[in-house]
A and B are shown apart, each in its own frame.
Chain A
Amino acid sequence: MPSLQTNNLVKKFGGLTAVNNLTFSVDKGEILGIIGPNGAGKTTVINLVAGTLPVTSGEILFNDDNITKLPSHVRNQKGVARTFQTVRPLEDFTAIENIMVGSLFGQKKNLNKGREYAKEICDFLNFDNINKPVDELTVLELKKVEIGRALASDPELLFLDEVMAGLNSEETWEIIEIVKKLRERNIAICVVEHIMKVVKELTSRVIVLDRGEIIAQGPYEKVSQEEQVIAAYLGEDD
């Protein structure tokens, strides 16, 4: 049974169709890559599934449950979590408090249990500076806060929106190892990523979006050879 199944998902912004008839699924324990050039609609897909934006038409099934009309906080409580492409830390909180928000509300834990759970997440992420205010954190630490907050809600479906962007290669590998460990927890994961070595390393399957439509899908090695994909990324010769 797929963890996530979307059927004919459409999102229009006025006259612009950002996502067009998108049907895809992700299984538990699978890492799906969502790639495509800028403006292909990758982040919009996350916004639709997480409930940040309402869909124009189509349906979203999560564990066979139709969540298309549910508000985003309910989707999070049910087990859909996401990170944001540009990190959105809660600036008046420390790192651990940011992560606690996920366990307090995503899982409805009380303050003590929420803090304990957040600490476990920090250990898992190998994150020490948990009591620092967020404006004193490094880029890597901010990314960990972003991932940590999503994980603290104990998701079954996790969207990672370009979490490697802005990291050096050593840091990128650290995050890659973390995501691999997450797969072992039987979470369904979707990674939106521009860095192809990350996609290659992590994903078992990718879908390639261009102008809101799937133009190719399959294992990265196969997809990356397809002419349509190369054309979408590099532009076509006329």
Chain B
Amino acid sequence: MNNKYLILILLAVAIIFPLVFGSYFIHVLTTVFVFLALSLSWDMMLRTGQLSFGTAGFFGLGAYMSVIVVLKLGWNPLFSILLGGVFAGLIAFLLGFVVLRLREIYFAITTLALTHVFSVIIRNLSDITGGASGLTLNTAIFGGSPVKIYYLILFLTLVVIGVSEYFKRSKIHFAINSIRNDEITAKSSGINVFKYLLLVFVITSIIQGVIGAVYAQQYAFVEPESTFSLNFLLLPIAMALVGGIYSTNGPIIGALILGIISEYLKLIMPYGHLIVYGLIIVVVVLFMPKGVYKPLKNKFSNNSLRGDANAQSSN
């Protein structure tokens, strides 16, 4: 019951936010949402037991596709964002037949390599992609209006949160959790392991492609170095780890904490924020391996010791 009110309050705050705060704060929160969505998409793949390092790669593919069709074909930027997602999803679908045969560190390394391969290919297709110097749009989406961009990214982020929650509440949850826990048990219990891995890989890649596309439209340019930057991989992972993996709330909380802290640290200590950022991650992973969300939840939902056991069994 409390949860519903909390969600409504947070949603109201998110909607009213740009009416109250200036463009600097709007910009900060917009960036947090971008990383929040990436963090959730990374976590959704992790729920299948597959550690993907391909987040930045599909992000970059979506970004490039979107900028190219706007610049060369004069598409509507909103459609181009959709296309960015579809393109990333299509590539994931095709590659999935190969990479989803791999597991654990082999899957992780291969997806990391793919990110690099994508950026190398794009760098060399200079007729279409502008090569190493990238492409610049005449104007950012919505004429660069921070408020409109904020609402667009808020909307997309809410959709991603919705998808993540759907994953948690449907049969998909049972399938991917089983695959993560024990693939042989999953198979002998009727679960088509490959089908579910491919489904999740494609959906998360679509999300990454859409987010990459909207990010590129926001800044009106793409460039191999920064568009395929490992920031779009490492920050989302850090956020999910800090907040708590295998959940929707974990990455949300992690993104808010790390996003806001790093912005604040930037102001008081230029570049030093990266050190503090790293320290936070190390401390959380060492002392709160489940992230901050679950311990917090347990603390608030139980006032007595007995409640602890009840909460666990009724979950």
Contacts and interface: CB of A to CB of B under 8 A. Distances in A.
B189 A102 contact: yes
Interface stretch (A81-89, A171-179, A209-217): A81-89
B181 interface: yes
Interface string B276-300: 0000000000000000000000000
A97 B174 CA distance: 8
A133 B312 contact: yes
A92 B180 contact: yes
Nearest to A108: B190
A50 B187 CA distance: 10
A72 B177 contact: no
A71 B188 contact: no
B159 to A, nearest CB: 22
Contacts of A111: 170-171
B169 to A, nearest CB: 8
Given A81-B188, A110-B171, A93 B181 contact: yes
A104 B171 contact: yes
Nearest to A93: B177
A100 B313 contact: no
Nearest to B195: A73
A24 interface: no
Contact of B190 (A77, A94, A131, A132): A77
A42 to B, nearest CB: 17
A153 B184 contact: no
Contacts of B190: 73, 76-77, 102, 105-108, 153
B192 interface: yes
A102 to B, nearest CB: 5
Contact of A72 (B174, B181, B187): B187
The prevalent SS among residues of B at the interface is helix
A132 B191 CA distance: 23
Contact of B191 (A82, A105, A114): A105
A7 interface: no
Interface string A113-134: 0100000000000000001110
A59 B269 CA distance: 70
A125 to B, nearest CB: 16
A82 B181 contact: no
The prevalent SS among residues of A at the interface is mixed
A237 interface: no
Contact of B184 (A52, A132, A133, A149): A52
A91 interface: yes
Nearest to B183: A88
A4 interface: no
Contact of B177 (A71, A81, A92): A92
Contacts of A147: none
Nearest to A107: B190
A106 B190 CA distance: 4
Given A88-B184, A90-B182, A101 B191 contact: yes
Interface string B161-202: 000000000110011011011101111111111000000000
B138 interface: no
B306 to A, nearest CB: 16
A73 B178 contact: no
A107 B171 CA distance: 13
Interface string B297-315: 0000000000000001111
A93 B313 CA distance: 11
A207 to B, nearest CB: 22
Contact of B186 (A51, A81, A101): A101
Given A90-B185, A101-B174, 12 more contacts: A52-B187, A76-B187, A82-B188, A84-B185, A88-B182, A89-B182, A90-B186, A101-B178, A101-B186, A105-B189, A108-B190, A153-B189
20 contacts: A52-B184, A72-B188, A73-B187, A73-B189, A76-B190, A82-B188, A88-B182, A88-B185, A90-B182, A93-B181, A100-B174, A101-B178, A101-B191, A102-B190, A105-B174, A105-B191, A105-B192, A114-B171, A131-B314, A149-B185
Interface of A: 50-52, 71-73, 76-77, 81-82, 84, 88-94, 97, 100-102, 104-108, 110-111, 114, 131-133, 149-150, 153
7 closest pairs, A vs B, by CB? A106-B190, A105-B190, A90-B181, A76-B190, A88-B185, A72-B187, A105-B191
